[in-house]
Structure 1
């Protein structure tokens, strides 16, 4: 997976991940799952992988 991000976002992600002693990918995953939990968004345990 890849996506474009501003230089400010990249700097914030780097700082936040270092502060939490996590990798950037792990921090993003943690934040997205927490967001889904707070918003009552049900995430399947193992979603089907779409083939293109």
Structure 2
């Protein structure tokens, strides 16, 4: 998996991950898991509901 990100995003990710003594990948995982927990999003929901590009 790869993503194009702005130089600012990349630098902030580097600094934030280093501050927490985590890898950049682990830091992003923690952010995603925390977000999903806060918004009651579960992995089984994500698998069952395909994400559409357009909202109808």
The answer, yes or no, to whether TM exceeds 0.5 is yes
TM-score by length of structure 1 reads: 0.82
- After the TM superposition, which segments of 4 or more aligned residues of structure 1 sit over 3 Å from their partners? none
Question: Considering only CA atoms, is the larger Rg found in Structure 1 or Structure 2?
Answer: 2
Gaps of 5+ in 2: 48-56
How many pairs does the alignment contain? 45
- Structure (1/2) with the larger helix percentage: 2
TM-score by length of structure 2 reads: 0.76
**Cα root mean square deviation, aligned:** 1.0
Gaps of 5+ in 1: 48-52
